[in-house]
Structure 1
Amino acid sequence: MVDILHRVGVESKTPEEVYEALTTVDGLAGWWTDQTTGDPDVGGTLEFRFIPGGFDMEVVELEPARRVHWQVADGPPEWVGTHVTFDLSEVDGYTIVLFKHEGWAEPGEFMHHCSTKWASYLLSLKQLVETGEGAPAPRDVMISDWH
C-alpha cells in the first residue's frame, strides 16, 4: 500500500477555523468542490461531485480542532476503501495540516494526478481560511484531461 502525503501551514487565529472548513458542507464547498452535499457528522456520508465524477466519503472520526478522518465509500475503484485524514496542530500562529490519503494499492499515473490535485485543493483550503475565498472545483487549476 502507498499513501499521498502533504503538509500545509495555514495562517489562522486558531485550528478551529481550519477544522470548520473541513467539517461543514459550506466549508468543504468553499475549498474542494462547489457540489458538496451530505451529512458531515460521524457516521454520515459526504458527497463530492466533480467533472467527470465524484466521491462519497463516510465520516469515520472527528476530533474537534485536531483530526478529521474519512473512508472512501464510493468513487473510482482506486479510491474505494482508502482513507483520508487531516491532522491539525498549532505552531507559531499557523495551523499545520498534515494530510494523508492512505491505502492506495499501487502508485500508478492516476495516483500521481490525484496527489497533484490534492495539493492544489489544500492550497485552496489555505486560501479560504486566510482570505475568505478558496478555489474549489470548478474554479480550480486544471492539470490534465482528468481535470
Structure 2
Amino acid sequence: MENRILFDLYINASKEKVFDAFSLPKHLDNWWTLKSSGKPELNTVYNLNFTDQYDWYAKVSKVKQNDVFFLKITEASSDWMPTTFGIELEESNNGTLLKFSHSDWQHNNHEFRNSSFCWAMLLNGLKNYIENGIIIPFSDRN
C-alpha cells in the first residue's frame, strides 16, 4: 500500500494567487523555505533550502499554469527520496480548492507521520499568508 499525504484546503483567493504562492520562490520563502529558487516550468530544478544541513533539490514533474504544480524530490534526506508533492487547484464558491498530495513515501515511519503534521501546519500558514498577508518568520515554522 502506498503511503501518501493528502489535504484539501479552501483558500479565499483566485487560482492564480494560490498557484503563485505555492510555486514562486519569492512566496515560498514567506511560508515554507528559508530561501529557494526555481521557475514553475517542466523539468526546471528547484533549490529548497531550509538550513545548511537541509539544502534540498526537486524537479518540476508536472505543471499547468494556475491549475497543477508538482515537484519530484531529487536530493533530500533519504525518507523524502523519491517522493513527489504538489497541488491541483479547482475554482469553488469559496475561492479556490487546493488539493495537496505528497506521494511515493517508501515507509510509514516517524518521518512520514511528522511530515504529514508539518504539511498540515505549513498549508495553514500558506492559507494565512494568501488571505491575510501573514508571514511567519522561518525560525517559528514547524
Taking structure 2 as the reference length, the TM-score comes to 0.90
Determine the C-alpha separation between the residues in 2 that align with 1:56 and 1:136.
22
CA root-mean-square deviation: 1.6
The one-letter code matched in structure 2 to 1:21 is A
Instruction: Tell me the residue number matched to 2:3.
Output: 2
SS in 1 for 2:112: helix
Contact 2:89 2:96 in 1 (8 A): yes
Contact 2:45 2:58 in 1 (8 A): yes
Instruction: Tell me the residue number matched to 1:33.
Output: 33
Determine the C-alpha separation between the residues in 2 that align with 1:74 and 1:3.
19
Aligned residue pairs total 140
Q: Percent identity?
A: 21
Instruction: Tell me the residue number matched to 2:57.
Output: 56
Instruction: Tell me the residue number matched to 1:135.
Output: 136
SS in 2 for 1:78: helix
Contact 1:124 1:136 in 2 (8 A): no
Determine the C-alpha separation between the residues in 1 that align with 2:68 and 2:109.
28
Matches within 5 A, 1:106-125: 106-125=107-126
Q: 1:48 Cα shift? A: 1.4
Q: 1:10 Cα shift? A: 0.7
Q: 1:37 Cα shift? A: 2.2
The runs of at least 4 consecutive aligned structure 1 residues that moved more than 3 Å come to none
Taking structure 1 as the reference length, the TM-score comes to 0.87
Q: 1:136 Cα shift? A: 5.7
Determine the C-alpha separation between the residues in 2 that align with 1:128 and 1:91.
19
Question: Can you list the C-alpha shifts for 1:41-96, whole angstroms capped at 9, x where unaligned?
Answer: 22111111224414211011211111101100010111111111201111113211
SS in 1 for 2:43: coil
Contact 2:10 2:94 in 1 (8 A): no
Determine the C-alpha separation between the residues in 2 that align with 1:39 and 1:17.
15
